[in-house]
């Protein structure tokens, strides 16, 4: 096998513990659930999962290490992420949680938009680059060869676990918002809560410590 089964077995609980730890990805799906409903929340989680898988592939190719060694590149990525999260915060204020009738409408575009938002938010988070570089190589064995394949396998495990957990959080948040959808005042409050989550994530990213 490309990956030692015993090492993979040790990786699974570590990956699960990391996926269960509240972080930027989970909070982003929470905000999407409150703002847009269950389908966009699941779609956002899928975008985040794909982003994590891409990060693992880039790490396996050595590109992430190259970027991490360039502070200017990390800063550019970070500030793009900050700007995008603030943009999402403004959008949350402009389009608060939908009413009951709106929530029942099938809106494929909303889900697709949430998918790309989740992907972009994940790809523009330097913390994910640094995390993958710090965590995954501990389980990669160069002696077994196929280093890129090993990174992709471990990245897939992290991404799949994160997808289900973050999607569940988003769906739960959407359920809470759905019960309040008929109340315009509460809907407006939830819009502010969503905007607050996105703003907090932007500030967290902006204040990220280097190295």
* pLDDT tens-digit readout, 168-211: 999 998 887 776 655 566 667 767 777 888 888 788 778 876 54
Other C-beta atoms closer than 10 Å to the C-beta of 90 total: 12
Q: State residue 147's pLDDT score.
A: 85
Q: Report if residue 13 sits inside a domain.
A: no
Helix (H, G, I), strand (E, B) or coil at 3: coil
CA distance 191 to 184: 10
Q: Report if residue 15 sits inside a domain.
A: no
CA distance 81 to 10: 33
Q: Report if residue 63 sits inside a domain.
A: yes
Percent of the chain residues past pLDDT 70, beyond the cut = 86
Closest CA to 102 of 186, 181, 209: 181
The two structure tokens encoding residue 84: 């995008």
pLDDT over 60 at 105, yes or no:
no
The model's pLDDT over 32-80, given as tens digits with 9 standing for 90+, comes to: 888 778 899 999 999 999 999 999 998 888 877 777 777 787 788 778 8
Q: Report if residue 73 sits inside a domain.
A: yes
Q: Report if residue 67 sits inside a domain.
A: yes
Band (pLDDT 50/70/90 cuts) for residue 100 is very low
Number of independent structural domains in the chain: 1
Q: What value does the mean pLDDT take over residues 158-175?
A: 92
The model's pTM: 0.79
Q: Which residue has the tokens 């779609």?
A: 43
Q: What value does the mean pLDDT take over residues 18-40?
A: 85
In terms of residue numbers, what domain contains 93? 25-97+107-206
Q: Report if residue 3 sits inside a domain.
A: no
Q: Report if residue 114 sits inside a domain.
A: yes
pLDDT over 80 at 89, yes or no:
yes
Q: Report if residue 17 sits inside a domain.
A: no
């Amino acid at each position: 096998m490309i990956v030692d089964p015993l090492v993979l077995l040790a990786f699974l609980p570590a990956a699960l513990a990391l996926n269960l730890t509240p972080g930027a990805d989970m909070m982003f799906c929470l905000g999407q659930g409150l703002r847009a409903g269950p389908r966009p929340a699941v779609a956002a989680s899928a975008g985040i999962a794909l982003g994590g898988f891409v990060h693992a592939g880039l790490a396996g190719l050595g590109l992430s290490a190259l970027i991490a060694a360039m502070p200017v590149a990390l800063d550019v990525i970070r500030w793009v992420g900050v700007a995008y999260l603030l943009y999402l915060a403004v959008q949350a204020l402009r389009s608060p949680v939908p009413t009951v009738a709106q929530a029942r409408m099938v809106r494929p575009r909303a889900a697709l938009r949430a998918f790309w938002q989740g992907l972009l938010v994940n790809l523009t988070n330097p913390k994910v680059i640094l995390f993958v570089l710090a965590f995954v190589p501990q389980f990669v064995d160069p002696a077994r060869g196929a280093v890129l394949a090993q990174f992709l396998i471990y990245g897939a495990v992290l991404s799949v676990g994160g997808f289900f957990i973050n999607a569940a959080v988003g769906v739960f948040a959407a359920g809470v918002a759905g019960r309040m959808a008929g109340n315009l005042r509460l809907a407006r409050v939830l819009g502010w809560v969503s905007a607050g989550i996105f703003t907090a994530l932007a500030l967290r990213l902006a204040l990220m410590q280097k190295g």
